[in-house]
Amino acid sequence: MTNHWIDLKNSDAIFIIGCNPAENHPISFKWIEKAMDDGGKLIVADPRYTRSASKADIYAQLRPGTDIAFLGGMINYALQNNMIHEEYVREYTNAAFIINEKFNFQDGLFCSFDDQEKSYDLKSWAYENDAAGNPKRDMSMKDPRCVYQLLKKHYSRYDADMVCSITGTKKEDFLKVAKTFCATGRADKAGTILYAMGITQSTHGTQNVRAVAMLQMLLGNIGIAGGGVNALRGESNVQGSTDYGLLFNSLPGYLKLPEFANTDFKAYIEKYTPKTKDAKSANWWGNTPKYITSLLKAWYGDNATPENDFCYNYLPKWSSNYSYSKIIERMGKGEVEGLVCMGMNPAMGGPDSNSARGALDKLKWLVTVDLWQTETSIFWKRPGVNPKDIHTEVFMLPAASSVEKEGSISNSGRWAQWRYKAVEPVGESKSDLWIINQFFKRVQALYTKDKGVFPEPITKLAWNYGDGHEPDVHLVAKEINGYFTKDTTIVDKDKTLEFKKGDQVPMFKYLQADGSTTSGCWIYCGSYTKEGNQMARRDASDPTGLGLFPKWSWCWPLNRRIIYNRASVTPDGAPFNPKRPVIAWDALEKKWKGDVPDGPWPPMKDAKEGKYPFIMLAEGHGRLYALDMKDGPFPEHYEPMESPARNQLSKVQNNPLVKIPANISSDLVKFPLIGTTYRMTEHWQTGGMTRSLPWLVELVPDMFVEISESLAKQKGIKKGDKVKVTTERGAIEAVALVTSRLKPFNVDGKSVEQVGMPWHFGYSGLAKGDSANLLTPTVGCANTNIPEFKAFLCNIEKGGTKA
Amino acid sequence: MGMSRRDFLRGGALAAAGVALTGRPGEASADAPQTRIKGLKSSTTICPYCAVGCGLLVHTKDGKIVNIEGDPQHPINHGSLCSKGSSLFQVAVNENRLQKVMYRAPGSDKFEEKSWDWAMDRIALRLKETRDKNFKAKEINKKDNKEYVVNRTEGMAFFGGAGLDNEECYLWSKFSRAMGVGMLEHQARL
Ligand code: SF4
Q: CB of B105 within 8 A of CB of B112?
A: yes
Domain ranges of chain B: 36-96, 101-106+115-189
**Does pLDDT of A186 surpass 80?**
yes
**Amino acid of residue A160:** A
Q: Where are the alpha helices (DSSP H) in A245-352?
A: 265-272, 288-300, 324-332, 346-349
How is domain A673-798 classified at the CATH fold level? Barwin-like endoglucanases (2.40.40)
Its ipTM equals: 0.98
Chain CA centroid to CA A435, Å: 28
Distance CA A415, CA A538 (A): 12
- What average pLDDT does the segment A687-707 reach? 97
Q: Where are the alpha helices (DSSP H) in A282-422?
A: 288-300, 324-332, 346-349, 353-361
| CB-nearest partner of B150 from A260, A450, A789 | A260
Q: What are phi and psi of A146, to 5 degrees?
A: -80, 155
SS3 A248: coil
| CB-nearest partner of A457 from B63, B73, B178 | B178
The candidate with the shortest Cα–Cα distance to B125, out of A527, A793, A123, A442, is A442
Angle at B56 between CA B51 and CA B61, to 5 degrees: 140
The candidate with the shortest Cα–Cα distance to A182, out of A55, A94, A93, A89, is A89
Taking only residues 502 to 521 of chain A, the set having a beta carbon closer than 8 angstroms to any beta carbon of chain B reads 520-521
Q: Where are the beta strands (DSSP E) in chain B?
A: 26-27, 41-46, 55-61, 64-70, 101-104, 112-114, 135-140, 147-160, 181-185
**Does pLDDT of A232 surpass 70?**
yes
Q: Is B76 in the pocket of ligand 1 (CB under 6 A)?
A: no
| A chain contacts of residue B18, beta-carbon cutoff 8 Å | none
Q: Is B11 in the pocket of ligand 1 (CB under 6 A)?
A: no
Distance CA B85, CA A371 (A): 17
The candidate with the shortest Cα–Cα distance to A470, out of B148, B171, B73, is B171
- Selected for mutation to probe chain B from A237, A447, A474, A518 (highest B CB count within 10 Å) is A237
pLDDT band at A803 (very low <50, low <70, confident <90, very high): low
Q: Is A462 on the interface with B (CB under 8 A)?
A: no
Instruction: Give residue B77 CA to ligand 1 midpoint distance, Å.
Output: 9
pLDDT digits (tens, 9 = 90+) for A415-433: 999 999 999 999 999 999 9
Q: Give the A:B interface size as CB pairs under 8 Å.
A: 491
pLDDT band at B10 (very low <50, low <70, confident <90, very high): very low
Please give the mean pLDDT across all residues of chain A.
Answer: 97
CA distances from A562 to A224, A394, A559, A565 (A): 7, 45, 9, 6
pLDDT band at A494 (very low <50, low <70, confident <90, very high): confident
**Does pLDDT of B5 surpass 60?**
no
**Does pLDDT of B151 surpass 70?**
yes
Q: What are phi and psi of A246, to 5 degrees?
A: -85, 50
SS3 A367: strand
Position B21 scores a pLDDT of 55
Across the interface, do A693 and B99 touch by the CB < 8 Å criterion? no
Q: Where are the alpha helices (DSSP H) in A395-454?
A: 432-450
| CB-nearest partner of B128 from A420, A422, A443 | A443
Q: Is B138 in the pocket of ligand 1 (CB under 6 A)?
A: no
Q: CB of B55 within 8 A of CB of A403?
A: no
Q: Nearest-CA distance from A82 to chain B in Å?
A: 36
Pick the range with the lowest mean pLDDT from A555-569, A724-738, B33-47: B33-47
Distance CA A85, CA A615 (A): 20
| CB-nearest partner of B189 from A27, A260, A786 | A786
SS3 A386: coil
**Amino acid of residue A660:** I
Residue in A5, A8, A25 to alter for ligand 1 test, most ligand atoms within 8 A of Cβ: A25
Q: Is B84 in the pocket of ligand 1 (CB under 6 A)?
A: yes
The candidate with the shortest Cα–Cα distance to B152, out of A219, A315, A504, is A315
Q: Nearest-CA distance from A770 to chain B in Å?
A: 19
- What average pLDDT does the segment A140-150 reach? 98
Question: Is it true that domain B36-96 has CATH number 2.70.98.60?
Answer: no
**Amino acid of residue A304:** A
- What average pLDDT does the segment B81-110 reach? 98
Establish whether the linkage from the previous residue to A557 is cis, with ω within 30° of 0.
yes
Q: Is A420 on the interface with B (CB under 8 A)?
A: yes
Question: A545 Cβ partners below 8 Å, 6+ apart?
Answer: none
**Amino acid of residue A657:** L
Q: Nearest-CA distance from B10 to chain A in Å?
A: 19
Question: A705 Cβ partners below 8 Å, 6+ apart?
Answer: A723, A725, A734, A735, A736, A737, A755, A756, A757, A796
Q: What are phi and psi of B27, to 5 degrees?
A: -65, 130
Q: CATH: 1.10.569.10, 3.40.228.10, 3.40.50.300, 3.20.20.140. Which one for A5-231? A: 3.40.228.10
pLDDT band at A633 (very low <50, low <70, confident <90, very high): very high
**Does pLDDT of A581 surpass 60?**
yes
DSSP, res A186: S
| B chain contacts of residue A454, beta-carbon cutoff 8 Å | 135, 137, 151, 180
pLDDT digits (tens, 9 = 90+) for A71-91: 999 999 999 999 999 999 999
| CB-nearest partner of A387 from B52, B103, B109 | B109
Q: CB of A247 within 8 A of CB of A257?
A: no
Position A489 scores a pLDDT of 96
Angle at A764 between CA A760 and CA A770, to 5 degrees: 50
Distance CA A601, CA A598 (A): 9
Taking only residues 66 to 105 of chain B, the set having a beta carbon closer than 8 angstroms to any beta carbon of chain A reads 68, 73, 75-78, 80-88, 90-92, 94, 96-105
pLDDT band at B13 (very low <50, low <70, confident <90, very high): very low
The candidate with the shortest Cα–Cα distance to A6, out of A584, A578, A527, A552, is A552
**Does pLDDT of A621 surpass 80?**
yes
Distance CA A89, CA A775 (A): 43
Q: Nearest-CA distance from A676 to chain B in Å?
A: 15
pLDDT digits (tens, 9 = 90+) for A372-415: 999 999 999 999 999 999 999 999 999 999 999 999 999 999 99
Residue in B69, B84, B86 to alter for ligand 1 test, most ligand atoms within 8 A of Cβ: B84
Residue of B nearest to A547 (CA): B75
Confidence (pTM): 0.96
Domain ranges of chain A: 5-231, 324-459, 673-798
Distance CA B130, CA B126 (A): 6
Q: Is B131 on the interface with A (CB under 8 A)?
A: yes
Q: Atom 6 (ligand 1): residue with closest C-alpha?
A: B85
**Does pLDDT of B22 surpass 80?**
no
Q: Nearest-CA distance from B35 to chain A in Å?
A: 20
Task: List beta partners, residue B184.
Answer: B158
pLDDT digits (tens, 9 = 90+) for A530-570: 999 999 999 999 999 999 999 999 999 999 999 999 999 99
pLDDT digits (tens, 9 = 90+) for A360-376: 999 999 999 999 999 99
CATH number of the domain at A324-459, please?
Answer: 3.40.50.740
**Residue A652, Cβ density class (10 Å: 0-12 exposed, 13-18 middle, ≥19 buried):** middle
